[in-house]
């Protein structure tokens, strides 16, 4: 099509390697040419063409001229690839159609600028596109082909990327699936699954989160309704073919995946309920990984396009973009996209999508960018709908790892204890022991911090809980917390340590009656199991004395799913126990 001078239209499913095939083929077949890649789904109306005042070189007067984006004037022959053109808005569609039909844009002839080929690549799925080409005057100007995953070299690329594994077994598993499941498990998603397996993470983290829900590999029935869910089976077969485990989870998952993102140049998505400490933990972990440098932080509800870049005319009559200062410079960078599914407007989200998908901004690579971490809330929490936007599978599959974060995955308790001391310990003991699971869901770590501050000021605690309107607060009884804060008799790790001789005697009595322990054993076990590492270290001697008298089956649970620091603490305790 390049040699014939025809516009090419390429249709294919998402994630099968359409774009990467263009990059590799153009570089090999036309070494003198450059591939100009334009992600149409991320364009705003002024990106391709804009009118701006410029000084006329003959008269010296200011005149209005059309300026074309600088990427279309590379100074050498180029092939123009317009990706996801059907996802562009109406204004962009008009500009793209002029390019596709006539190889012109505004008053510019692209051939005169060096263009030797124009291609549009798209996925026809109605779940992803915002338009369909139906005008015969347009359709009659293109050469159109439809491709599948079998038409690209994705197997060779994955085999080259993961050389330590023989991927023939993985490819066999993929080929054995039905066409509908293979479409869900695209080569891009398979790449993400392999990346997570390489790090020892759960393989399901490679499956995208679409509108808050993990993608399921479901066989459709004959009538189109969902059939058998084969997700666990397929992922276990992939893990078996690689000879690696497929764990349900890993200790300290948020910090582990952020560190992996910094090592491997990943984009990751973290989804969790509000107020559990996701953002602070991510920023702290990124700061540690960048040697003290702060991440580039953007909160999407207040992020404008101008916070990222702004178009400016250049002396050669083209339209360039001025990047925000944080994106420039050679120093290592990581971007934190907070409230990712709450963008202020479509234009800002379009620019954001270019960065997350292409690791570039306005067509310019971002030097030193090592990781991107997007943080969002789920669509629903505690039975209430949150005001978040939707996404499609093409957007969701841009993240190498997608995690659903639970409050227990965030070590915010240690931070609260370090900052607020014994009062925070008391409130956390109430949160762990005195309220049920629903109550703990209503009392986030952010709420706990408010309760601590209100108590320190002597103000009513109810004001710190979530207000639901019409005089109603979160349905969580606070009487037990008030008792604890008023120093009425309660039992926590601090109280166990203060009365260690008495509790040691009670545990000995329980051990003499049965090897399974008794009620006292259960009480001590629950308190120790729920204690923070700093509390365990503070009362180390008492913990060692009491744990030695607990049944072995209870002691063994302290190592299961624990962080590396917790495991090290317990190994030292167990090693010092009398034989």
Q: Tell me which residue has tokens 């019409």.
A: 470
Contact indicator for 296, 335 with CB cutoff of 8 Å: yes
Q: What is the pLDDT of residue 516?
A: 82
Q: What is the pLDDT of residue 273?
A: 95
Q: How large is the average pLDDT for residues 62-81?
A: 88
Min mean pLDDT across 126-140, 154-168, 443-457, 529-543 is at 126-140
- Written as six digits, the tokens of 46 are 């002024």
Min mean pLDDT across 185-189, 344-348, 443-447, 536-540 is at 344-348
Helical H runs in 218-297?
231-242, 253-264, 278-289
Where does residue 226 rank: exposed (0-12), middle (13-18), buried (19+ CB within 10 A)? exposed
| Integer Cα distance of 451 and 91 in angstroms | 51
Q: What is the pLDDT of residue 564?
A: 84
Q: What is the pLDDT of residue 350?
A: 76
| Integer Cα distance of 94 and 100 in angstroms | 10
Using the predicted structure, report yes or no on whether residue 317 has a pLDDT greater than 80. no
| Integer Cα distance of 35 and 46 in angstroms | 21
Q: How large is the average pLDDT for residues 207-214?
A: 96
* pLDDT confidence bin for 92, thresholds 50/70/90: confident
**Beta strands 218-220; 209-210: pairing state:** unpaired
Q: How large is the average pLDDT for residues 328-348?
A: 91
Mean pLDDT of the chain: 89
Using the predicted structure, report yes or no on whether residue 113 has a pLDDT greater than 70. yes
| Integer Cα distance of 121 and 322 in angstroms | 28
Q: What is the pLDDT of residue 226?
A: 86
* pLDDT confidence bin for 74, thresholds 50/70/90: confident
| Integer Cα distance of 508 and 32 in angstroms | 83
Using the predicted structure, report yes or no on whether residue 377 has a pLDDT greater than 70. yes
* pLDDT confidence bin for 137, thresholds 50/70/90: low
Q: Tell me which residue has tokens 């790090």.
A: 199
Best CA proximity match to 282, nearest among 410, 421, 103, 403: 410
Q: Which has more pLDDT, 140 or 536?
A: 536
* pLDDT confidence bin for 41, thresholds 50/70/90: confident
| Integer Cα distance of 299 and 339 in angstroms | 6
Using the predicted structure, report yes or no on whether residue 341 has a pLDDT greater than 90. yes
Q: How large is the average pLDDT for residues 408-435?
A: 91
Residue 80 half-sphere exposure toward CB, CA atoms < 13 A: 28
Using the predicted structure, report yes or no on whether residue 463 has a pLDDT greater than 90. yes
Using the predicted structure, report yes or no on whether residue 130 has a pLDDT greater than 60. no
The DSSP element (H or E) to which 483 belongs, if any, is helix 479-485
Q: How large is the average pLDDT for residues 301-316?
A: 84
Min mean pLDDT across 1-10, 48-57, 72-81 is at 48-57
Among residues of the chain, what percentage have pLDDT more than 70? Answer: 97
Q: Give Cα 78 distance to the centre of its chain.
A: 34
Contact indicator for 78, 36 with CB cutoff of 8 Å: yes
Residue 93 half-sphere exposure toward CB, CA atoms < 13 A: 13
* pLDDT confidence bin for 287, thresholds 50/70/90: very high
Q: Tell me which residue has tokens 């204004």.
A: 91
Per-position DSSP letters for 347-379, written without gaps between them: HHHHHHHHHHHHSEETTEE-TTEEEEEEEE--S
* pLDDT confidence bin for 126, thresholds 50/70/90: low
| Integer Cα distance of 196 and 52 in angstroms | 48
Min mean pLDDT across 130-144, 209-223, 285-299 is at 130-144
- Written as six digits, the tokens of 20 are 């990467």
- Written as six digits, the tokens of 436 are 């049920």
Q: What is the pLDDT of residue 47?
A: 77
| Integer Cα distance of 174 and 197 in angstroms | 16
What is the biggest distance separating any 2 CA atoms in the chain, rounded to whole angstroms? 105
Contact indicator for 151, 18 with CB cutoff of 8 Å: no
Q: What is the pLDDT of residue 386?
A: 94
């Amino acid at each position: 099509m390049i040699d014939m001078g025809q516009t090419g239209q390429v249709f294919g499913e998402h994630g099968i390697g359409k774009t990467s095939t263009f990059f590799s083929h153009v570089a090999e077949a036309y070494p003198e040419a450059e591939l100009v890649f334009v992600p149409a789904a991320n364009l705003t109306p002024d990106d391709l063409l804009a009118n701006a005042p410029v000084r006329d070189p003959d008269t010296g007067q200011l005149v209005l001229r059309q300026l074309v984006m600088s990427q279309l004037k590379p100074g050498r022959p180029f092939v123009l690839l317009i990706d996801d053109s059907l996802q562009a808005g109406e204004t962009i569609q008009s500009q793209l159609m002029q390019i596709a039909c006539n190889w012109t844009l505004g008053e510019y002839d692209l051939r005169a600028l060096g263009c030797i080929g124009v291609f549009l690549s798209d996925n026809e799925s109605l779940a992803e596109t915002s338009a369909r080409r139906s005008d015969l005057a347009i359709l009659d100007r293109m050469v159109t082909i439809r491709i599948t995953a079998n038409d690209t070299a994705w197997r060779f690329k994955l085999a080259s990327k993961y050389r330590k594994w023989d991927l023939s077994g993985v490819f066999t598993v993929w080929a054995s699936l039905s066409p509908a499941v293979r479409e869900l498990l695209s080569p891009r998603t398979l790449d993400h699954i392999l990346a997570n397996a390489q790090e020892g993470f759960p393989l399901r983290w490679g499956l995208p989160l679409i509108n808050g829900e993990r993608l399921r590999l479901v066989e459709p029935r004959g009538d189109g309704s969902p059939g058998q869910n084969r997700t666990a089976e397929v992922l276990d077969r992939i893990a078996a073919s690689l000879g690696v485990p497929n764990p349900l989870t890993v200790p300290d998952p948020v910090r582990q995946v952020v560190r992996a993102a910094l090592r491997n140049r990943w984009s990751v998505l973290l989804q969790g309920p509000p107020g559990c400490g996701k953002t602070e933990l991510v920023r702290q972990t990124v700061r540690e990984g960048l040697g003290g440098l702060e991440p580039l932080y953007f909160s999407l509800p207040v992020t404008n396009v101008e916070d990222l870049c702004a178009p400016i005319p250049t002396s050669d009559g083209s339209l360039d973009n001025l990047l925000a200062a944080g994106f420039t410079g050679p120093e290592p960078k990581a971007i934190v996209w907070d409230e990712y599914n709450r963008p202020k407007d479509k234009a800002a989200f379009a620019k954001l999508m270019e960065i997350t998908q292409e690791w570039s901004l306005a067509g310019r690579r971002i030097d030193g960018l090592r990781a991107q971490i997007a943080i969002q809330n789920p669509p629903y929490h505690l039975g209430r709908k949150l005001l978040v936007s939707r996404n499609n599978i093409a957007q969701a599959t841009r993240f190498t790892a997608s995690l659903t974060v639970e409050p227990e995955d965030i070590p915010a308790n240690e931070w609260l204890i370090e900052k607020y001391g014994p009062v925070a310990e008391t409130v956390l003991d109430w949160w762990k022991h005195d309220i049920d699971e629903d109550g703990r869901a209503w009392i986030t770590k952010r709420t706990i911090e408010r309760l601590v501050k209100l108590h320190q000021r002597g103000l009513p605690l109810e004001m710190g809980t979530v207000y639901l309107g019409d005089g109603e607060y979160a349905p969580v009884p606070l009487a037990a917390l008030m008792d604890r804060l008023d120093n009425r008799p309660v039992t926590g790790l601090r109280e166990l340590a203060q009365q260690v001789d008495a509790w040691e005697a009670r545990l000995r009595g329980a051990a003499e009656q049965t090897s399974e322990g008794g009620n006292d054993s259960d009480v001590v076990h629950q308190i120790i199991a729920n204690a923070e590492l700093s509390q365990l270290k503070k009362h180390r001697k008492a913990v060692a004395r009491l744990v030695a008298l607990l049944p072995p089956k209870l002691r063994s649970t302290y190592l299961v799913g624990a962080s590396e620091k917790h495991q090290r603490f317990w190994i030292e305790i167990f090693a010092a126990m009398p034989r």
